[in-house]
Structure 1
């Protein structure tokens, strides 16, 4: 048990591996200094141990400042220094503190983040590596692992919040994983993968809340850039409410990324995805009959089903029976088709790449419509109640008052006009796809499989 006058401290030591370079070591040192605020040590642990051993009994033991030649005049830090005088009780066995367990006092650095995640990620593979010899389950595993690594690689940037595209890319990775499970779900053992699906969905929802707010602010600012200088403050009442909503959303996101549940999910899911055959169904039925699982055998069916789900809307569109809700559902169907082409483009003919680009154009059009619907609802609720989103209870209704904000009303008018234009021009976009033979070209992809 440590004496009252003893200092027990924690220390991190970074060792350069044989294949490492001096540049790698410099990156780690830069991270530890600037992200964690730690202090480099000029003496080895052995040299510092000798300093204590050689100290005479009558002389005081070397202070922590003597162990910090570069910061002797500073007060020792308790949570953000390499060596900290924060005491702990040793139970008799050696205790070690991993880098992932060190807590810091300020965000964006969080205790659950590893050093590797704070550095710029190494080059990731550009393709999942799917081949015609793979089963659908193996293709799903490769696709999931491909996007899982991308999700993790953008986590540090998402935490910092300096570039909104980092969060966007992290969220996209979660959506691609969910889509891969939907596309290949009939060929997966869902009992094995269900626990991970829940965490992927939760991550996507929490990240999506912040991402939607980022997009809202970005588009609102783009609108302000088009108005005269004397009107630049006309959305300030809206931004005042927005800022509180955004701070809360960011806090929930960081709390989630710091949670043991999320940390455990990353560890367990990566371990699961590294195993070839993960979540694969039996290759034979109970009657010993082979089950169709190989990509060339079943992808044509999967792809044509996704195509059929889109073409089911043809009659509605030609009859101009296209409500906003129906357009939203059509957008989801287009996503299913696009994701299927993207996941398997390594084994599909070259035309698949061009078809994906055409799908993106129409999907973006439908996305602008849905964004206009959501934004208009937010602006109307703000003007009616002065809140972000709908009032949830009668007591809230009594407390809320309408907001007099002509600038916000003007912005609402602009967004509704944009929405109406997008709806009116959608039919021509659909007809363009038909005229270019888009649907026939998608169906033709399966012939070469």
Structure 2
């Protein structure tokens, strides 16, 4: 995951509107950097980097919502994020299928290659949608964001109580999703926990200049859980894809998909066990309580 652009010249005593302008400018630059490479080719790396950058931009927009009229900007950035996500998902599926095909016996390779071709056909349509989303982003969203940044007014302190309240709210949502996952550790609850954990991490990054002493420790605690949930999500997406194919695709593809299902089920079980151990560590070490203390 590429790191965000470091924001210089801010302290906890900085005005909130000034901090918002500087951080949003940095997050905007992070989105625009891979955008230029995507004008030629929608590469796997470029799409991934821009998707991560849009998530970080949205986190900042939501944090600074009270400093200006940012809801419409956030909605438009989400449209771009969704379009990037659709292409990214196909990229990941395609590359995983290519690796899986090389490991299979000859009689199953043809079916898996047919399945790859189906993914490629979807990629053409979703790439066209992403091209349109990139055009709207450049022509509409960027000018609107720059306008809203110029209108911001908020004399509160960047490192004041509002920051910590926002982070405590994010942490509370993570805690609730953990409890739901403990009750029903299925694909849906795992995905929701993953999203809440990721949003909490991106919100922490927004406040890094104001929380520099605790930031490294906070992020270090979150990374193993977030990465493990990402790997679990990948396995769940593969299971959904293979389950659909094994039930409805042509015979050669169904047979090829069924050969992979058991392997992916085992992978999913392994990832779930790793998450269970990580959540047990959070409980035994009282990490939620420690995070609350860090946030004041």
Q: Quick one: which of 51, 71, 92 aligns to 1:194? A: 71
Taking a change above 3 Å as real, the CA distance of residues 348 and 232 of structure 1, as seen in their structure-2 partners, is same
Give the one of 21, 25, 28 matched to 1:148: 28
Question: Which of the residues 275, 282, 300 maps onto 2:164?
Answer: 300
Q: Which structure has greater helix proportion?
A: 2
Asked if 1:169 corresponds to 2:49, the answer is yes
Take 1:227 and 1:404, find their aligned partners in 2: how far apart are those partners?
Answer: 13
3-state SS, counterpart of residue 272 of structure 2: helix
Q: Deviations over 1:49-88 (max 9, x none)?
A: xxxxxxxxxxxxxxxxxxxxxxxxxxxxxxxxxxxxxxxx
Gap change, CA 1:182 and 1:166, over 3 Å in 2: same
- Matched residues in 2 for 1:295 and 1:421: separation? 41
- How many residue pairs match? The answer is 293
Residues 22-60 of structure 1 deviation map (CA, whole Å, 9 limit, x = unaligned): xxxxxxxxxxxxxxxxxxxxxxxxxxxxxxxxxxxxxxx
Partner of residue 429 from structure 1, selected from 265, 272, 278? 278
2:235 to 340, 355, 372: 372
Give yes or no for contact 1:130–1:344 (8 Å, CA) kept in 2.
no
Aligned to 2:186: 323
2:201 to 298, 323, 338: 338
What's the TM-score once normalised by structure 1's chain length? 0.58
Q: CA deviation at 1:429?
A: 0.8
Partner of 1:252: 129
Distance 1:236 1:171 in 2: 28
- Cα separation, partners in 2 of 1:126 and 1:402, compared to 1, 3 Å: same
Residue 136 of structure 1: how far off its partner (Å): 4.1
Instruction: Return the alpha-carbon distance in structure 1 between the equivalents of residues 252 and 105 of structure 2.
Output: 23
Say if 1:158 and 1:166, in contact at 8 Å, map to a contact too.
Answer: yes
What does residue 294 of structure 2 align with? 445
Distance 2:166 2:147 in 1: 28
Question: Secondary structure, in 3 states, of the residue corresponding to 1:375?
Answer: helix
Counterpart contact for 1:385–1:403, Cα < 8 Å: no
Tell whether the 8 Å contact from 1:131 to 1:347 is kept in structure 2 after alignment.
yes
Compared CA separation, residues 255 and 316, structure 1 to 2 (3 A): closer
Shift of 1:440: 3.7
Q: Deviations over 1:197-251 (max 9, x none)?
A: 2221111111111111111122223333444677554411101111111112112
User: Higher relative contact order at CA 8 Å, sep ≥6: structure 1 or structure 2?
Assistant: 2
Match runs of 1:76-95 below 5 Å: none
Aligned to 1:266: 142
Deviation at 1:170, TM superposition (A): 0.9
Q: Is the 8 A contact 2:38 2:47 kept in 1?
A: yes
Partner of residue 411, structure 1: 260
Please state how far the C-alpha of 1:296 moved relative to its aligned partner.
2.2
Q: Which has the larger radius of gyration?
A: 1
Partner Cα separation in structure 1 for residue 50 and residue 89 of structure 2: 13
Other structure's SS at 2:210 match: coil
Assess if the C-alpha contact under 8 Å between 1:128 and 1:143 holds in 2: no
| Distance (whole Å) between structure 2 residues aligned to residue 142 and residue 402 of structure 1 | 56
**1:30-49 correspondence to structure 2 within 5 Å:** none
Structure 2 residue runs of 5 or longer lacking an equivalent are none
Per the TM alignment, residue 349 of structure 1 is displaced from its structure 2 partner at its CA by 4.0
After superposition, the Cα gap between the structure-2 partners of 1:432 and 1:204, relative to the gap in structure 1 and judged at 3 Å, is same
CA RMSD of aligned residues (A): 2.8
- The 2-side partners of 1:268 and 1:316 are apart by 38
